[in-house]
Structure 1
Amino acid sequence: MRSLLMPALFRQILVLISCLMLSSLLHANDSSNTKKPNVVAAQAVVKHYAELAYAVYSDAESSARQLQTKVEAFLKAPSPAGLVAAQQAWKTARIPYQQSEVFRFGNPVVDDWEYKLNSWPLDEGLIDYVAEDYFAALGNIGGSLNIIGNPTINLGGEVLDASTITPELLRSLHELGGSAANVATGYHAIEFLLWGQDLHGHELGAGERPYTDYSLGDNCSHGNCDRRAAYLLSAVSVLVDDLSYMTKQWAPNKTDNYRAQLLGLKSDIVLARMFSGMGSLSLGELGGERIKVSLEANSTEDEHDCFSDNTHWSHYYNGLGIENLYLGRYQRLDGSILSGPALGDLVRQAKPAIDNKTRKALSDTMASLKVLSDTAEAAQNPVKFDMLIAEGNKQGEKILSDILAALVIQTRAFEAAASAIQIDPTATGI
């Protein structure tokens, strides 16, 4: 169900405050004694930036294809083990994707595309059956449509034929009526279909969708198992197609994709986009939207991966993606390391002390995120994110406040690092 504790307006105000904080930080630094990077060195960093993006999105696509394989196998012969395998494949697919989010907030091709894949929180009632006490976002007519349960959908007088669930149908229903709560595609729609609602509130436990929700005949639970399977297959197909599109946008040796366009820009503009992506993800998105909102509202609905209780890893890999970009390295899913010229190299050449402080800030942030993941994955008495944000949970307040504090310091470090090489992160050319 969706939370009514965090009105949309307050959410927007909170994000706006975060953006204003970032803007003030970026303009407050004294730029005296700074040094513009060597043109050749800057171009090398820009080229490697594109290489990093291509590697990350390639891994995101390949892991989504593995998810597709596991889902197809599960649906051919539904079983508890098959469902668990599909769930694990979903978790693996989140690892590269969450690291890719640092390429948002500055690259239009990503910003205009991201909502298809990672929109949240969603109104589950749009997709499938929900608990009796479920309530949709205020005023959202799509929150109770139940696409899986209704082959004919009435949209306020307009009747939509949903007798056959296809990727095209899901795309047409995504953000139906302009409501961001109507999430019909992407990781979180798939997550809901694999786990179901998490009805444990602030207690330990994720969603417990039975594998029989996909069984045919008399073994089918909750009805419409064939349509549920069609929805899951279609949603995964959309995810693979969308990731394939983005991989192609960053592919090398092309003349008509985004990478070619990016490499044709002045290095200063691309470096600004890199700093913008790191700063915006740090403070506005991860710190504000994904942690601060949930903590202040004590809202399990505002948890990022709320059905699977995978939120700690999503946050961890967001942080790792930021660190990757500054250091110019990425560990691929096969274990290989991609490394090359990095922002940190440019900053170190200009002002070694500022580079050292930035690296320390990144390390401190990752350490604070590791406390979160270690707490959630503890062998004895694990405490998941939705438990940590419960009202009065002092442990959660400490862990999450430490992460927020680290993200603020990290963003200030980015401000100083950008200034050290005479880059204005707001000058993204967009």
Structure 2
Amino acid sequence: MEHSMTRMKKVLPILAISAVLAGCGQNDAQDISTSQSSQINPSISHEAIVEQYANVAHATFEDALLTARALHTSISTLIKSPTEANLDAAKAAWIAARVPYQQSEVFRFGNAVVDDWEGQLNAWPLDEGLIDYVDNSAYQAELGNAGAAANIIANLEIQVGNDMIDTSHLAPSLLANLNELGGSEANVTTGYHAIEFLLWGQDLNGTEPGAGNRPASDYATGDDCTNGHCERRAQYLTAAAELLVIDLETMEAQWRSGQDDNYRQTLLSEPAEQGLRKMLFGMGSLALGELAGERMKVALEANSTEDEHDCFSDNTHNSHFYNALGINNVYSGSYTRVDGTQISGPSLADLAAAENPEQASAISSKFVRTQAALQAMVNAAEQGQAFDQLIAANNKEGNAIVEQAISALVEETAAIEQLAALAGINNLSPDTADHTF
């Protein structure tokens, strides 16, 4: 296991998320992928494109923060009243929170302030035995990980190597300090996936249908408590949700306009060509090394559910879809917010169309193809085959759906390099994460 360069059964319709952050639906890939300005301005400035990039980043992180706060509220309700209905509501809030966050990952690559921060929010895969009880018959921990069975929730202190660590007070600061304990990237104690595990539990189904099935009674009190240590489990989940909000508050502020000494100000003070390079490098690196490579190719080639991104919830198809949509957002200079409003402005798509309309059309077609390929993965999940089933060794049709998505992302990366050339950016070299395609 390793931290990614960095794991809903249906795609959440973006326009409906604000209602209680629940509900299901299907997106039209072509409509989403071509949400660029129809009015091309041949004199569009590089500075305006980079500023719009910052606007999209801020709106995306602000939505991630808003949905994380809603998740925290749902978790508080669950802890106060641990019913199956409240557990389901917390799960729905978690899935809704993934929608804007996954669109934000395109800002990681090229922007060190984001990438250095991301490991506390989205690190995966994780050795869940560090956090809570597991079924050892279905538990595959990282080889040699001394913390793989520490079970923080069950123990007021844990020993990792020669160190004895006091875990009696499960506060956000403790969880942050324990993340990547002992230098192992599989020792993930914070972020979306730790919360996911505490809501769903282990997925014991392998490549068969079904996600994790943790009972709400894992948070009950007294004799109703199942699997022991329910009060500690509630404390851990609450602390993890609090830390998620704190971290997202930090990043939202980094991209906010009108702030002195934040990252947005730094980015906009740099030469615009540097900003364009960051935009294009981020798009290509997420598409190629991270999404096509780490998140799909690794899992497919190994037929490994351990390398699935949202593995406990079986939400992986949506995470991949919204990663790709985030790439498209940067290309089109637009973003649809969780309340349904859309922001748009000068874009790389506009720049390409002004430079070479014919080539711009060919580039846009690659973004359309990618969203369609990722939508096919979502459609398969809606029809009963989640990502962990698609990658099964004996599922040729499912494997083909994932392979087509990988192929589309590889072609999209080539189109991004063409786009870079139109923008005057040479030697883009998107990160491959040491994968060959």
TM-score above 0.5: yes
Residue 395 of structure 1: aligned partner: 397
Work out whether residues 217 and 225 of structure 2, in 8 Å CA contact, stay in contact via their aligned partners in 1. yes
Give 1:353's aligned amino acid: E
Alignment of 1:145-294 (within 5 A): 145-294=150-299
Alignment partner, residue 79 of structure 2: 75
Q: Which residue of 2 aligns with 1:18?
A: none
**Quick check: 1:276–1:425 contact (8 Å CA) kept in 2?**
no
In 2, Cα distance between equivalents of 1:93 and 1:167: 19
Q: Secondary structure, in 3 states, of the residue corresponding to 1:330?
A: strand
Conserved? CA contact 2:99–2:322, under 8 Å: yes
Supply the distance in 2 between the matched residues of 1:117 and 1:357 (Cα, whole angstroms): 36
SS in 2 for 1:114: helix
- Equivalent residue for 2:322, pick from 312, 317, 323: 317
How many Å separate the matches in 2 of 1:242 and 1:424? 35
- Give yes or no for contact 2:44–2:351 (8 Å, CA) kept in 1: no
Report Cα offsets for 1:279-303 as digits up to 9, x if no partner. 0000100000000000000000100
2: distance between equivalents of 1:366 and 1:426?
23
Shift in CA distance, 191/73, structure 1 to aligned 2, threshold 3 Å: same
Q: Which residue of 1 aligns with 2:123?
A: 119
| 1:60 counterpart = 2:60 | no
Note the 1:323-362 alignment, pairs <5 A.
323-362=328-367
Per-residue CA deviation, residues 41-68 of structure 1 (Å, 9 max, x unaligned), is 1111111111000000000000000000
Compare 292-301 and 37-46 and name the one that shifted more.
Answer: 37-46
Q: Which amino acid aligns with 1:93?
A: A
2:65 corresponds to which letter in structure 1?
Answer: E
**What is the CA–CA distance in structure 2 between the aligned matches of 1:169 and 1:425, rounded to whole Å?**
43
**2:415 is equivalent to residue 413 of structure 1:** yes
- The separation in 1 between residues aligned to 2:42 and 2:244, in whole angstroms, is 40
Closer, same or farther: CA 153–39 of 1 in aligned 2, 3 Å = farther
Q: Aligned partners of 2:63, 2:263: CA distance in 1, in Å?
A: 18
Q: Structure 2 unaligned segments of length 5 or more: list them.
A: 6-40, 431-437
The answer to whether the 8 Å contact 1:50/1:259 transfers is: yes
Structure 1 segment 88-107 matched on structure 2, within 5 A: 88-107=92-111
Deviation at 1:155, TM superposition (A): 2.3
Q: How far does residue 157 in structure 1 lie from its aligned partner after superposition? A: 2.9
Matched, 1:386 2:388: yes
Structure 1 residue 184, shift from structure 2 partner = 0.3
1:285-336 CA deviation, whole Å, 9 max, x = no partner? Answer: 0000000000000000100000000000000000111111101111100011
Separation in structure 1 between the aligned mates of residue 89 and residue 129 of structure 2, nearest angstrom? 25
- Aligned partners of 2:288 and 2:409 also within 8 Å: yes
Contact 2:218–2:228 (8 Å) recurs in 1: yes
Give the direction of change, closer, same or farther, for the CA distance of 1:115–1:425 in structure 2 (3 Å limit): farther
State the alpha-carbon separation in 1 of the partners of residues 95 and 104 from structure 2.
Answer: 15
Structure 2: how far apart are the matches of 1:157 and 1:177? 10
Counterpart amino acid of residue 200 in structure 1:
N
Provide the rounded CA distance (Å) in 1 between the counterparts of 2:172 and 2:224.
Answer: 26
Give the Å deviation of 1:202: 0.7
Q: Distance in 1 between matches of 2:373 and 2:159?
A: 48
Asked if 2 retains the 8 angstrom alpha-carbon contact of 1:273 and 1:425, the reply is no
Give the 3-state SS of the residue equivalent to 2:368 in structure 1: helix
Deviation at 1:152, TM superposition (A): 1.3
Please give the alpha-carbon distance, in whole angstroms, between the structure 2 residues aligned to 1:106 and 1:132.
40
Q: CA deviation at 1:254?
A: 1.0
Name the SS for the 1:338 alignment partner.
strand
C-alpha separation between the residues in 1 aligned to 2:421 and 2:141?
Answer: 45
Q: 2:134 — aligned with what?
A: 130
How many residue pairs are counted as aligned between the two chains?
A: 394
Q: Distance in 2 between matches of 1:279 and 1:43?
A: 21
Give distance in 1, aligned partners of 2:429 and 2:387.
36
Give yes or no for contact 1:275–1:425 (8 Å, CA) kept in 2: no
**Cα offset, 1:161, TM superposition:** 1.2
Alignment-mate amino acid for residue 98 of structure 1: Q
Distance 1:58 1:341 in 2: 20
Q: Is the 8 A contact 1:272 1:425 kept in 2?
A: no
Between the aligned partners of 1:127 and 1:400, the Cα distance in structure 2 is 31
Q: Which amino acid aligns with 1:340?
A: G
Q: Quick one: distance in 1 between partners of 2:219 and 2:104?
A: 32
1:427: Cα distance to partner? Answer: 9.1
Aligned partners of 1:354 and 1:420 also within 8 Å: no
Quick one: structure 1 residues 373 and 40, their matched pair in 2 at CA, closer, same or farther if it must change by over 3 Å? closer
Report the counterpart of residue 15 of structure 1 in structure 2: none
Farther-moved stretch of structure 1 (186-195 vs 164-173): 164-173
What letter matches 1:68 in structure 2? H
How big is the alpha-carbon RMSD for the aligned residues of Structure 1 and Structure 2?
Answer: 1.7
* 1:227-270 deviation per Cα after TM superposition (whole angstroms, max 9, x unaligned): 00000000001100000000000000012100000000000000
Deviation at 1:40, TM superposition (A): 6.2
What's the offset of the Cα at 1:425? 5.9
Pick closer, same or farther for the CA change 1:272–1:39 going to 2, 3 Å: farther
Is 1:363 aligned to residue 368 of structure 2?
A: yes
Percent identity, aligned pairs only, is 52
Please give the alpha-carbon distance, in whole angstroms, between the structure 1 residues aligned to 2:154 and 2:52: 48
Offset, 1:38: 8.3
CA gap 1:126/1:192 in 2 versus in 1, 3 angstroms: same
How far is 1:424 from its partner?
Answer: 2.9
